[in-house]
A and B are shown apart, each in its own frame.
Chain A
Amino acid sequence: MGVVGTSVPRVDGPAKAAGATRYADDLTFPGMLFGRTIRTTVPSGRITGIHLDFDPAGFTVVDRRDIPGANAVLHLTDDQPCLVQDEVRHQAEPVLLLAHADRAALAAASVRLDYVRSEPVLDPLRSPRSHKEILIEAGDLARGFAQADLVVEGEYRTGAQEHAYIEPNAVVALPDERGGVTIHGSIQCPYYVHHALTHLLALPDDRVRVVATELGGAFGGKEDYPSVIAGHAALLALKARRPVKLVYDRAEDMLATTKRHPSVVRHRTGVTRDGRLVAMDIELVLDGGAYVTLSPVVLSRSCLHATGGYRCPNVRVAGRAMFTNTPPNGAFRGFGAPQAQFALEAHMERVADALGMDPARFRLKNVLQPGDTMPTGQRMGDDCSAEAVLREAVRRCGWARKRKSWRGTDRGIGLALFCHGGGFTGSGEARLASRCTIETTERGVRALVAATEMGQGSRTVLAQVVADGLGVPLADVEVAAPDTAVVPNSGPTVASRTSMVVGRILERCALEMRERLGGVAPAVHHRRHGPLAVTKRYEPPPGVSWDDERYRGDAYGTFAWACDVAEVRLDRDTYEVRATKLTLVQEFGRALNPVLARGQIEGGTAQGIGWALTEHVAMREGAMANAQLTDYCIPTTLDTPPLQTHIVENPYPHGACGAKGVGELPMSGPAPAIINALRHLGLDLRELPATPERVMAALDRAARSETR
C-alpha cells in the first residue's frame, strides 16, 4: 500500500516542465561580478611571463599569491594546484582569474602568457610514472594456463568520453563580512567542495557554506571538478568583496574539465576445449591525466570489474593509472567498470569464437552462480542474478534464430553480460561514515541529506522511502536542499549509492521515528512537543569485510547485474553502423520508482551507444580539438534505437526497501553488445568508438583474411 515500488511522478517534474527550476546560471545577486579563467595553451613547460594587456579599471585579478591557504584542490591528494604554481602540466590549466561587472569588458581583456615548453607525455603506455597501481591475484595463473587447451589474447582500447551535460559547470560565490564564503553551484557533492575550500582558503568549517543548486545533468562530471571552479569563484569573490558568478561556456567546459579515463586493456585467457575458463591474465592501463584526482578509485573499480560475471579459479589483474600531460580525467557514470567490461565482453566473444561456441552458451558455462567467488574472494549469494539476466535476455530477443538467419547479411546481433558494484569500494562506505537526519516540521517531516538531485530522481525516491518508513503520505515528506550549513554529510552523490546506501540510513531513521511518534502524525507531534529529530550513521551490512592492504574480501556489499542485446545494421556504402534495437534486462534489487528507474536505464544506455559509435574526443597536443557540440557528437533522437527494457527484481536485504544501485549499471552494456553484434557481422573491432572509418578498416581486414 505504500509508495515505494510505484511510479509516483517526480516531485520536481512540474517546475522543470514549467521552466521555473533555477539552476546556478539563473541566480543573480546584487553587485554580482562575472568571472573568467585564463588558461595555459601548452601541455607542459614553465610559465615565464604573464602580461596583462588591458585597462585594469573595474577588474579584480587573482593569481596564486592571493590564495590564503594551500594552493591545492584537495581531494584524495593535494598534488593538483588551484592555480598553476609555475610548472605547467596540461593544456587549459588555470593560471589567472579575472572578474568584472561587465561581461563584454571581461571577455575583451587580453592576457598573454610566455612559456618555456617541454616535451609532453601524451601516451599512457609510454608514461614514466603512475598515479596508482593495483594487483589482484587468485589461484595460480601458471597452473591455470597449463590446464588450458586454448589461449586467446587481445588488446582493447577505449577513448575518452565527455559528459556533455546540457548545463555546463557554473557556480556563484558570495563573500560574507567575516571573511567566509558561500557557494551556490552545480555540484554533485557539496561536502567535497566544502573540504577543498576550507583547505584552499584556510577557513574553519563553519565559515564555508556550500549549497548545491539543481543540477542540469552531471554523470560524474560535477563530482570532483566543482572543487576547482568553486575555489576559483571563491578567490575572486573574497578579493573583490563582491559576489562572483563563474560559468563556463561549452567550449571551455569541454576543453578544461574531466573526462572518462581512456583505457588499454590486454587479456590473455586460457580455456579448456569444452569451454571452461581456467586462466585470466588481465593488464589494465588507464590514462589519468596530469594529476591524481580520482584515478586511484577509478582504477580500483576497473580492476574489481575486470572479470565481470565469470568464474575462473586462476586470475591476475594488474592495473595502473598513468600520468600524462592532459587535463585530469575523472568520474563518469560507470567509473572504470565500463572500460573493464568493454574489454572483457569483447574478449569473451573472441574466446567463444575460437572455441566455435555460441557466445551465450559460452557465457552460461562460466557465469557466476551463488556460491562462486570473484577473484578477490567475494562469495556470491542469492543476490547474484548473472545467470538469470543472461537467460532472460537470450529468451526475449530471439537470439538463436537471429544468430543463424542474419549470418552473412548486413545485420548483426550481439550481447554483453555485465555488473556494477553498489556503493563505495571496499571499506569506502565505512570510511565515509555517512549520516542522515529526519526531523519533524509544521507540515510533516524533512529529510536532511547531502545527496543532490541531478535528474536521477533522488529527491523523489528518498522521499518515497521516508514516507513508507514513517507510514505517512508522500506529500508530507520534504527533502531539504543540500546545504552544508543545514544537512549532515551523507556522503557524495556517486557510486550508485544514493538509493541503496543513503536511502537505507533514511529508512532506519524513519522506522525509529515512527516508533517514537507512537501513531501521532509528525506535524501534530511537532506542534505539541516541538521538533523531533532522528539521526543515524551508516552501518555496514553484516558479514561484509574487506582488506585494503591485500585487496581481498568483499569489494562491494552487492552487485547489480544486467545483460544487453544489441541488434545493428551496417551500411556497406558509408560504413555507418546503426543500432536498430536494444534489449535491456537489468536487475538492481528492486525498482523503488519504475518510471525513474527506467529513465536511468534508457539514459545510461543512450550514453553507452554514443560511447560505442559516435563520441570521439579528438586529442591534439594534449587538448580536445573538437571541443564543441557540433563536432563532439552525442546521440540525437535519430541516433537512438527503440529500447526494450525489462526489469528483473531480486530484493537486496541491506539496501533501502530492497534496492541496489541503478544509476551506473546501464552504462557498461551497450558498447560491448554493439561490438559483439559487429563481430557477428564478421568485423573484428577492438576500439571505441567504432566509427565508420574504423569499421571500414575492419571490413578491409576481413576481406583480406578471406582472400588469404
Chain B
Amino acid sequence: MSPRRRSKPAGTDSRPPVSFTLNGRAVAVDRHPMARLLDVLREDLGLTGTKEGCGEGECGACTVLLDGRPVCSCLVPLAHARGREVLTIEGLGGDHPLQRAFAEEGGAQCGACTPGMVLAALALPPRPSREQIRRGLAGNLCRCTGYEAIYRAVERQGPAAGGQESADRREPKR
C-alpha cells in the first residue's frame, strides 16, 4: 500500500494559478504549469512582442528577463515563473534609451530579433566593451544586420545598458 501523497501534481484538475510579477505588475495565470512561458505571454497575456523563432533555445528571439537574467522563454515552464519577476519588451515602455538607440542606429531591420536582442542587451554590464557586447549577445541570432549596427546602438547607450544590479534597481515602466 503506498503512503499518503505528500503533494498533488500540478496539471491535474485543481491547480492554483501561477502568480508572478510581469513588467512590474502582479499577474496570475491559470494554465498548465508546463505550458511554455512564451505561449503564456503571447496567448494568455496578449503580449506578442516576444517572438518564437525556433522553439529550441537557439535564436534568442523569445528572450525575456527572469529576475533580471535573459532566458529563452520557449524553454521556461510557467511553473518556473511563480514568484519571480518577468520583464518583456513591452515592459520597457517603448522609449527606453536603448530602444531609441536601436531604432536610430539601424539596430533593428526586420525587427523580429529586436525584442529579444534589446532585453539581452539590457542585461549587459554597464559600459560594456565591444567584446562584452559580443559575448553577451551571442545567444541572440540576427539575420538582417550582421550585428555591427546592434553594437553601435548598444555602445551609444553606454551606461543605460544596465547589468543585473541595474535590472534589480530599475523601476519598470507601467
Contacts and interface: CB of A to CB of B under 8 A. Distances in A.
Interface of A: 9-10, 12-23, 25-26, 163-168, 214-219, 249-250, 454-457, 595-596, 598-599, 602-607, 628-630, 634, 636-638, 640, 642-643
B129 interface: no
Contacts of B90: 18-20
B109 A457 contact: yes
B49 A20 contact: yes
B94 A18 contact: yes
B65 interface: no
A18 B141 contact: no
B58 A18 contact: no
B112 A643 contact: no
Contacts of A168: 53
19 contacts: A17-B118, A19-B50, A19-B90, A25-B52, A26-B48, A163-B143, A166-B51, A167-B51, A216-B110, A217-B110, A250-B59, A455-B110, A455-B144, A595-B106, A599-B106, A602-B145, A602-B146, A640-B147, A643-B148
B89 A18 contact: yes
A91 B137 CA distance: 36
A217 B115 contact: no
A165 B112 contact: yes
Interface stretch (B13-21, B97-105, B161-169): B97-105
Contacts of A15: 111
Contacts, number: 170
Interface residues of B, number: 54
Contact of A250 (B49, B56, B99, B112): B56
Contacts of B88: 19
Contacts of B49: 18-20
A162 to B, nearest CB: 10
A163 B105 CA distance: 24
Given A17-B114, A166-B51, A634-B143, A603 B56 contact: no
Contact of B111 (A12, A249, A628, A630): A12
Given A167-B53, A595-B149, A629-B59, A19 B110 contact: no
Most buried by A among B92, B93, B108, B139: B108
A634 B109 contact: no
B126 to A, nearest CB: 19
Contacts of B27: none
Contacts of B123: none
Nearest to A219: B143
Most buried by A among B47, B102, B108, B148: B148
B56 A630 contact: yes
B114 A23 contact: no
Given A166-B59, A250-B55, A21 B103 contact: no
A599 B109 contact: yes
Contacts of A163: 143
Contacts of B78: none
B22 interface: no
A456 B138 contact: no
Contact of A607 (B94, B115, B143): B143
B34 interface: no
A675 to B, nearest CB: 19
B153 to A, nearest CB: 9
A19 B109 CA distance: 13
B94 A17 contact: yes
Nearest to A163: B143
A168 B51 CA distance: 11
Contacts of A457: 109
B135 to A, nearest CB: 7
Contacts of A454: 110
Given A10-B108, A455-B144, A602-B147, 15 more contacts: A14-B100, A18-B94, A19-B47, A19-B114, A25-B51, A166-B53, A166-B143, A215-B110, A250-B54, A598-B106, A598-B148, A599-B149, A636-B139, A637-B140, A643-B146
B109 A250 contact: no
Interface in B31-59: 42, 47-56, 58-59
Most buried by B among A9, A165, A455, A605: A455
Most buried by B among A17, A250, A598, A636: A17
B147 A606 contact: yes
B55 A249 contact: yes
Contacts of A22: 48
B113 A628 contact: no
Nearest to A597: B106
A606 B104 contact: no
A604 B119 CA distance: 25
Contact of B137 (A219, A606, A637): A637
Nearest to B102: A17
B94 A14 contact: yes
Contacts of A603: 109, 143-146
Contacts of B55: 249-250
B143 A16 contact: no
A636 B55 CA distance: 17
Contacts of A637: 133-135, 137-138, 140, 147
Most buried by B among A15, A167, A607: A167
Nearest to B53: A166
A9 B106 CA distance: 8
Contacts of A606: 143, 145-147
A217 B139 CA distance: 18
A634 B111 CA distance: 18
Contacts of A596: 106
B115 to A, nearest CB: 4
A9 B48 CA distance: 24
B106 A630 contact: no
Given A250-B53, A599-B106, A628-B56, A167 B112 contact: yes
B142 interface: yes
Most buried by B among A456, A599, A604, A606: A599
B81 interface: no
B60 to A, nearest CB: 9
Most buried by A among B103, B109, B146: B146
Nearest to A607: B143
A161 to B, nearest CB: 12
A217 B112 contact: yes
B71 interface: no
B66 interface: no
A529 B59 CA distance: 52
Contact of B51 (A10, A216, A598): A216
A317 B135 CA distance: 46
B61 interface: yes
A454 B108 CA distance: 11
A637 B90 CA distance: 25
Contacts of B137: 637
B103 A17 contact: yes
Contact of A455 (B47, B92, B109): B109
Nearest to B150: A637
B96 to A, nearest CB: 8
Contact of A216 (B112, B133, B138, B146): B112
A163 B112 CA distance: 14
B112 to A, nearest CB: 3
B156 to A, nearest CB: 12
A21 B149 contact: no
B143 A10 contact: no
Contacts of A14: 94-95, 99-100, 103
Contacts of B133: 637
A630 B54 CA distance: 9
A128 to B, nearest CB: 36
A12 B113 CA distance: 14
A611 to B, nearest CB: 12
